[in-house]
Amino acid sequence: MYTYPWYHWITFFFIYSFFGWIFESTYVSILQRRFVNRGFLRLPLLPLYGTGAVMMLWLSLPVKDSVVLVYLAGVVGATVLEYVTGYVMEKLFKIKYWDYSNQRFNFRGYICLSSSVAWGFLTIFLTEVIHKPIAEFVLGMNIWVETALLLIVGAAFAADTAVSVKEALDLGRALEAMTKMKAELDELQVQAALLRSEIAERLEGLSAAEVRAEAASRLTGVKADAAAKMTGAAARVADAAAHVAGVGVGAAAKVADAGAGAAAKMAGVREEAAAIVADARAGAAARMAGARDGAAAFVREHMQSEEALAARIRALSEKRESVAGHMNFYRRDILRGNPSASSAQFASALKELREKANKKSDV
């Protein structure tokens, strides 16, 4: 097989890429119960299978007389290829296009034991059964027909690869942008909630319950002081009356004078108490008005901030929806053609885009 010309190897690559697409699309379509154009490209080609087949043929040639060594060569070669391809694609496109994380004995989701074992058996099946009739068919083709087919298929493959890579890169950037905008939206929503809470608390404070309670306490104290003064004046009048009874009529005039003085003092006490109460009420009213004005200014300022936050949230939501809504043919098929694709970092955004792709396809 080392004697194959280079263009035969390219032909083998395309043939096995096509067979791989048939196998994968059939298998996944059965699982999904709908047709799935499996793979990264939109053409019916899976380059991983074509590359794997060519590589397994090359690796198995030196040990083709030993089935065990052919099996081991297929296990090692295909496993390395699968890991490297999966790792590079995830780094480039932000998505793990196949994920073995739910399989036992997997390594970072790129490879797993069951898959590697299957690759070994597939290598034996390829070298012992499949490749022989394919090689005979390719070798029997007219060179001009083969060249023409390679030019046509190669041009279509190159164009499809270029567009698919661009769309996959754009998809990765969209996932990253959507995730960042979602985090920013969550932060803005928290800020808006805090503002609303502060506004509600300050609005409740406009009732000035604490101011009224303080004013009532001061009024109670003032009234108690006035009552004490009035009680003292009354006691002095009573003492004067008792003294009159003891000293006779001559002292009555003095007692009357004392009573009049006490009455005057009581009237003064009443006036003083009334003035204190009025001052207290006026001070309480002023403090309540100041509290209302301060609270109103606070509320106005915070409501303006909340409106600005709401505008930012709307603008960011519209921008995120615009990014998510860009669903052309390639992006939709990439998402639908890889139902097992995953992304640990952008899982939520990938799920959202996949749902949009499925809805758009159902319309």
Other Cβ atoms closer than 10 A to 335:
22
Q: Give yes or no for a contact between 189 and 313, defined as CB atoms under 8 angstroms apart.
A: yes
184 in any annotated domain: no
Res 76 pLDDT > 90:
yes
- Judge if 143 and 79 occupy the same domain: yes
Q: What is the DSSP-derived secondary structure letter of residue 251? A: G
The mean per-residue pLDDT over the stretch 53-73 comes to 88
Element (H, E) at 256: helix 252-325
Q: Give yes or no for a contact between 277 and 222, defined as CB atoms under 8 angstroms apart.
A: yes
- Judge if 48 and 79 occupy the same domain: yes
Using CB atoms within 10 Å of the CB of residue 166, give its burial: 0 to 12 exposed, 13 to 18 middle, 19+ buried.
exposed
Res 283 pLDDT > 70:
no
Measured distance CA(174)–CA(201) in Å, rounded: 40
- The predicted-structure confidence for 297-347, as pLDDT tens digits, reads as follows 655 666 667 777 788 888 888 888 888 878 788 888 888 888 878 888 898
Measured distance CA(169)–CA(171) in Å, rounded: 5
228 in any annotated domain: yes
194 in any annotated domain: no
- Judge if 125 and 27 occupy the same domain: yes
- The predicted-structure confidence for 162-215, as pLDDT tens digits, reads as follows 999 999 999 999 999 999 998 888 888 888 888 777 777 766 665 545 545 555
Q: What percent of the chain stands above pLDDT 90?
A: 32
- Judge if 341 and 315 occupy the same domain: no
- Judge if 121 and 212 occupy the same domain: no
Distance of CA 141 to the CA centre of its chain: 56
Residues in the chain: 363
Q: Which of the two residues, 22 and 275, has the higher pLDDT score?
A: 22
- Prediction pTM value: 0.67
Element (H, E) at 169: helix 143-205
Tokens found for residue 185: 């939206």
Measured distance CA(49)–CA(51) in Å, rounded: 5
342: helix, strand or coil: strand
185 in any annotated domain: no
CA distances from 91 to 101, 330, 338, 345 (A): 17, 20, 17, 12
Res 252 pLDDT > 60:
no
Distance of CA 126 to the CA centre of its chain: 46
- Judge if 13 and 157 occupy the same domain: yes
Output phi, psi for 342, to 5 deg: -145, 165
- Judge if 45 and 131 occupy the same domain: yes
User: What dihedral angle (degrees, nearest 10) is formed by the CA atoms of 238, 241, 242, 246?
Assistant: 170
Measured distance CA(325)–CA(342) in Å, rounded: 20
- Judge if 166 and 81 occupy the same domain: yes
189 in any annotated domain: no
84 in any annotated domain: yes
User: What dihedral angle (degrees, nearest 10) is formed by the CA atoms of 214, 217, 219, 224?
Assistant: -160
144 in any annotated domain: yes
Which residue bears the tokens 């998809």?
Answer: 171
Residue type, 181: M
- Judge if 354 and 219 occupy the same domain: no
Which residue bears the tokens 């890429």?
Answer: 17
Helices 47-60 and 67-93: crossing angle, nearest 10°?
150
Which residue bears the tokens 């395309």?
Answer: 14
- Judge if 43 and 60 occupy the same domain: yes
Q: Residue 356: which domain range?
A: 6-175+327-362
State the pLDDT confidence band at 249, using cuts at 50, 70 and 90.
very low
- Judge if 227 and 303 occupy the same domain: yes
- Looking at the structure of the chain, the number of domains it has is 2
188 in any annotated domain: no
- Judge if 30 and 142 occupy the same domain: yes
151: helix, strand or coil: helix
- The predicted-structure confidence for 11-41, as pLDDT tens digits, reads as follows 999 999 999 999 988 988 898 888 888 888 8
